[in-house]
Structure 1
């Protein structure tokens, strides 16, 4: 599995994303990091904007609703095997983490990585912060009390663990106070957690 990790939206390297994905331009779009919101009109607007950007880049996009796959991990795995790109948008990390556990996506991604499946995992915001080793510290910038799924009411602190460091998105290196990420960076440094920062537009590509 390969990675295209963006701070915001697709970022500044859409051509590199297309090249990384290769021939299979089918993209699975996952927006469950927004499951906390009750403003459904705004949610649809944001989702349509994301999917439009992916289509304009050259992808055939299908929205995958993880809630339809809760406790159906095998079905989700078979579904995702058809795609060249899994794209996970931002939102609330803790909510997204819950959805990944209930659907089994956490296990599927680990399996794809172990088997070196020719699929690209991409995304931005919460979609990339979640794949590191831990979610500890994220509570400084995100609402930990959001628990929209009645079947899971506890906080998951473990990241997916696909990479061995944390990513801090939306970081303005010239004006570090603007992004609101200073507290998170201080937490990582105090607790000796490896991290990399990205300002909006920047991406990390792992082949």
Structure 2
């Protein structure tokens, strides 16, 4: 992903898909299991968290924050909660223009990849559309960012707790003749200059 960046390696980590989990549990997980800050730092990046909740109702401040980073890295969790955060902060209005300017790179995994698509229909077989956290609007948003013209099913045939749900989502897309790409953990979809490529592990 660093090859796609045009400037420095400043990364904003968006973790709002995990806002339904108490902060104390998230801190323990980061300290003992997985830290995106540590991982990205080890790769030579300059990461910091970009909490979209701090920009709810204030897209101007979010735009300024986005213009100060080179990569926005969006973590997994609940895709529908993440989509709400992107709507309430104005992220969904801002990111297409910044990508068009080639000002920023969008990357992520699991929920972070799912919301880049045109629709979240079918993903309700994997994530609870009604899961909320404090400060979030209840209405479910079914449309994604529209950065790609197909749906993405993460954790497909992977050693992951949602692998069975991913199979159900794949069947949904197949039975409804909807365009999709199922990816295993470790696979990557890259969009550059209008061309889409799949890199399998």
Contact 2:84–2:136 at 8 Å: present in 1 too?
no
Q: TM-score, normalised by structure 2?
A: 0.86
Counterpart position of 2:55: 69
Change in 2 beyond 3 A, CA 1:80/1:189: same
Counterpart position of 2:195: none
Superimposed CA distance per residue, residues 61-107 of structure 1 (whole angstroms, 9 cap, x where no aligned partner): 11111111001001101111111100000000010000000000000
Q: How many residues align?
A: 188
Counterpart position of 2:196: none
Structure 1 residue runs of 5 or longer lacking an equivalent are 1-16
Give me the CA root mean square deviation.
Answer: 2.1
Match of 2:139 among 144, 154, 163: 154
The alignment status of 1:88 with 2:79, answered yes or no, reads no
Q: TM-score, normalised by structure 1?
A: 0.84
After the TM superposition, which parts of structure 1 deviate over 6 Å for at least 4 consecutive aligned residues?
none
Superimposed CA distance per residue, residues 162-182 of structure 1 (whole angstroms, 9 cap, x where no aligned partner): 110111111128x9x981111
The alignment status of 1:41 with 2:27, answered yes or no, reads no
Counterpart position of 2:45: 59
- TM-aligned CA deviation for residue 120 of structure 1: 0.8
Q: Which has the higher contact order (CA 8 A, sep 6+)?
A: 1
The alignment status of 1:50 with 2:36, answered yes or no, reads yes
Counterpart position of 1:172: 157
Counterpart position of 2:190: 205
The alignment status of 1:190 with 2:175, answered yes or no, reads yes
Superimposed CA distance per residue, residues 47-71 of structure 1 (whole angstroms, 9 cap, x where no aligned partner): 5611111111111011111111001
The 5-angstrom pairing of residues 107-118 of structure 1 reads 107-113=93-99, 115-118=100-103
